[in-house]
Amino acid sequence: MSVLKIKDLHVSVGDKEILKGVNLTINTGEVHALLGPNGNGKSTLLSAIMGHPAYSVTKGSITLDDEDVLAMSVDERSRKGLFLGMQYPQSIPGVTNSDFLKAAINARREEPIRLFQFIKKLDKAIDELEMNEDLAHRYLNEGFSGGEKKRNEILQMKLLEPKFALLDEIDSGLDVDALRIVSESINNMRNDDLGMVIVSHYDRLYENIRPTHVHILVDGQIVVDGGYELIKKVNEEGFEWVKELGVTFK
């Protein structure tokens, strides 16, 4: 079992403090839902775990099996098994999706993957995600629709087989069928060697995936922890009730 542990994490963007002491422990085998009103720091948390340079950690720690994640480069974090499925995937003109995926896989192996094996894996994943085959040979995310970009993040996750996957609004912009395909695909990847953090605004994804743990992040702190029942409560009542717990909102 692996453990990703976040302790008293403070993160700033420029001179603005966004995260104000986040505590969160994720074991492999668990699926954590991260909820919260917009602009309160969910993406900031996931980006800081992955090491995005815009987010500076001013206090606290992130460890992966007792190793200091904050001391690692983004590449190292990826090699150690962290993966971020982004809310706004970037396009890279000039680099094909398939070359990008191959490079990402090879960065994490001693020996480069054999082309035949790579193509087999890629074809299988594209098939499972019911993606258009030509997306593999187009430039990464260039001209992809919103839904295609999101599916492509899941495609990367499938091929990279991370230990911890952080999925940021992976379902936004997906139609009903795509949402079903993506959530089935995430469910199929569930196993004792994978931990996940899933940010979504929609009940539908969580209904299909049934997270084991649920957290509500408000104004840079996790203020409520619970189980699936929290998702139903938020779905019915929004976040207003959290205020009554004495939490100040943005």
Q: Is position 36 an interface residue for ligand ADP (rule: CB under 6 A)?
A: yes
Q: How far is the CB of 40 from ligand ADP (least distance, A)?
A: 4
Q: Is position 90 an interface residue for ligand ADP (rule: CB under 6 A)?
A: no
Q: How far is the CB of 14 from ligand ADP (least distance, A)?
A: 7
Cα–Cα distance measured from residue 207 to residue 218, given in angstroms and rounded to the nearest whole number: 22
* Strands 31-35, 195-199: pairing kind: parallel
| Segment lying near ligand ADP (by CB under 6 A), choices 35-43, 107-115, 134-142, 149-157 | 35-43
Q: Which does 18 bind (CB under 5 to 8 A by kind): ligand ADP, Mg ion, none?
A: ligand ADP
String marking each residue 41-70 x if it binds ligand ADP according to CB under 6 A:
xxxx---------x----------------
Q: Is position 39 an interface residue for ligand ADP (rule: CB under 6 A)?
A: yes
SS3 for 136?
A: helix
Asked if 205 and 40 touch (Cβ cutoff 8 Å), the reply is no
Task: Kindly determine how many residues on this chain lie close enough to bind ligand ADP according to the rule CB under 6 A.
Answer: 11
String marking each residue 14-33 x if it binds ligand ADP according to CB under 6 A:
----x---------------
Phi, psi of 77 (to 5 degrees): -60, -40
Please calculate the CA angle 97-119-47 and round it to the nearest 5 degrees. Answer: 40
Alpha carbon separation from 151 to 104, 108, 145, 156, 170 (Å, rounded): 17, 22, 10, 9, 8
| Segment lying near ligand ADP (by CB under 6 A), choices 34-42, 119-127, 134-142, 232-240 | 34-42
When the beta carbons of 159 and 222 are compared against ligand ADP, the nearer one is: 222
Nearest partner of 229 among 246, 208, 206, judged by Cα: 206
Q: How many CB atoms lie within 10 A of CB 242?
A: 20
Q: Is position 107 an interface residue for ligand ADP (rule: CB under 6 A)?
A: no
Q: How far is the CB of 199 from Mg ion (least distance, A)?
A: 6
Q: Whose CB is nearest to Mg ion?
A: 43
Asked if 18 and 12 touch (Cβ cutoff 8 Å), the reply is yes
When the beta carbons of 42 and 80 are compared against Mg ion, the nearer one is: 42
| Segment lying near Mg ion (by CB under 5 A), choices 41-49, 52-60, 124-132, 222-230 | 41-49
Q: How far is the CB of 19 from ligand ADP (least distance, A)?
A: 8
Q: Which amino acid is at 233?
A: K
Task: Kindly determine how many residues on this chain lie close enough to bind Mg ion according to the rule CB under 5 A.
Answer: 3
Q: Is position 43 an interface residue for Mg ion (rule: CB under 5 A)?
A: yes
- How buried is residue 154: exposed, middle or buried, by Cβ count under 10 Å (0-12/13-18/19+)? buried
Cα–Cα distance measured from residue 67 to residue 164, given in angstroms and rounded to the nearest whole number: 14
Q: Which amino acid is at 115?
A: L
Footprint of ligand ADP on this chain (CB under 6 A)? 13, 18, 36, 38-44, 54
Footprint of Mg ion on this chain (CB under 5 A)? 38, 42-43
